[in-house]
Chain A
Amino acid sequence: VSERFSRFVLPFALVAAALAAWEAAARSGLWSKLLFPSLVNISREFVLFFSRPESLLEAWVSLTRALGGFALAAVVGVLIGMLMGRSKRVAEVLDPFFSGTYAVPKLALFPIFIFLFGIGSLSKVALVFLECLYPIVVMTYSGARNVNKVLLWSAQNMGASRAATLRRVVVPATAPFIFAGFRIAVPVAMIVVVITEMVSSADGLGYLVIYSLSSLRTDRMLAVVVVIAILGYLLDKAVVLARDRLIYWEKLDTYYV
């Protein structure tokens, strides 16, 4: 296999084969149109999605819920993680709590949140906040805890105040970890928004998915799925872009999961 073939053709081979197989299944007539709607229909619905103001509004609703919960979790999570990393006492109190409930699906709290915050956006934002909080706190904590001692000593030695040490040493050293936490949290935010909208909602993209399914418009449903996929992809790209601008001194080469 030549190098050029392997570099430029192979990356598209699998995707192209999958799409071709899909279209073949759609046209073969072996399965109902509901099972495999043709790619032509899906793309038509995809274009229609962007020409309808009401579906764009649903996308906007989902996006604001995801971003709202994520932004809250980012602020609170970084604060808590920093405090835990820089103060033994805070860590002693909070670390057992966060590591003990880390693996528990917070989604199970959703029904209670509905009673607490109502069926609208607030209960969803609250759940997004809670699910995003964990990765951000855990990553920030592990970063802030492991700041290079030599750097801290040098800063103190050169007479830096506590505030200056925090701003010039601790925060830059922790920043890559914070962004690793953001990178985990952003897809989580999308997942939670879509799930909660699928379970109980009258708006948002998750609701559109369920609604299209129950009206047997699988082509429309798949178009919405593509929209959600693109949104998730763009949000992840935005985090990476922000990271590369802010943490220009460290290249991203490992993919934290």
Chain B
Amino acid sequence: VGLAVLLVVLVVWQFAPLPDFILPPLQILKDFFQALGTAELYEHVWASLKRSLPGWVIGSALGATLGLAAGVARWFDRMFSPAVFLTYPVPKIVMLPIFMIWFGIGDLSKVLIIALACFYPVFINAYYGVRQTRTILVWSALNMGASRAEIFRRVVLPSAAPMILASLRVSLALSFIVMFAAEMINARSGLGHLTRMAENSLRFDLMYVALLAIAILGYAGDRLVRYANRRLLAWQEQPA
């Protein structure tokens, strides 16, 4: 049923009278395949990925590490968590201009702003993942003579893993949004820049090519993370 509705929408879209900034789907596909044959598109995609992926990895790794630490160590929790929860609802993208002043207008400031945005959801999920560990499991492990390190590795980590992995999906989506925003605001390459350039020069075909490229990237990344989730959490009965 879903497929049929999608088809109807596409057909109507193709044949409806539209203003010239909304291209029909077949035209978009044609432009997209044409762009696939040029080096330009790959350069922009590569420039975008070069910013978003390191940012995602750094931010998520830091978030998971510090979140686990805050969940385990009370003094660290009390020192660190209030600052995190206080700044959580703040849109992190406003830090971009400051980062640009500190770290230059190159890739470093963009990678760092993406890392900052990715840090929050992963930290919070890792933190609550640890806090949700069932005390009875910890007691049993203690009772069986497990050391602190063993308890962390065998009890706490597995019970926090589903929430951490779920947050990786959120932070990946976030990394693409922030990457795109940062490139629209200030960049000389990347999909965000391409969109902006296309908009300014009224190259609607290019605009849709960039749009389709970012959509495919976002979708593929999401599928990959979800696939990794299922593989890593195979021992879990509930789907994450």
Contacts and interface: CB of A to CB of B under 8 A. Distances in A.
Interface of A: 1, 6-7, 10-11, 13-15, 18, 34-35, 89, 92-97, 100-105, 107-112, 114-116, 186-187, 190-191, 194-195, 198-199, 206, 209-210, 213, 218, 221-222, 224-225, 228-229, 232-233, 235-236, 254-255, 257
Contact of A101 (B79, B92, B215): B215
A206 B180 CA distance: 16
Nearest to B124: A257
Contacts of B96: 198
Contacts of A191: 91-93, 177
Contacts of B87: 229
B39 interface: no
Given A102-B222, A104-B218, A107-B180, A232 B90 contact: yes
B234 interface: no
A221 B97 CA distance: 9
Nearest to A36: B102
B215 A11 contact: no
B221 to A, nearest CB: 7
**Interface-centre pick from A34, A105, A229, A232 (highest chain B CB count, 10 A):** A105
Interface residues of B, number: 62
A92 B1 contact: yes
Contacts of B222: 102-103
B21 A108 contact: no
Given A14-B79, A101-B215, A198 B185 contact: yes
B71 to A, nearest CB: 12
A225 B95 CA distance: 8
Contact of B2 (A13, A95, A104, A222): A95
B60 to A, nearest CB: 13
Closest 7 CB pairs of A and B: A103-B222, A236-B89, A111-B199, A191-B91, A115-B21, A10-B78, A229-B90
Given A195-B93, A229-B90, A35 B101 contact: yes
B88 interface: yes
B78 A111 contact: no
Interface string B70-85: 0000110011101100
Contact of A111 (B89, B177, B195): B195
B94 interface: yes
A246 B180 CA distance: 37
Nearest to B220: A103
A10 B1 contact: no
Contact of A187 (B91, B98, B102, B184): B91
Contacts of A95: 2
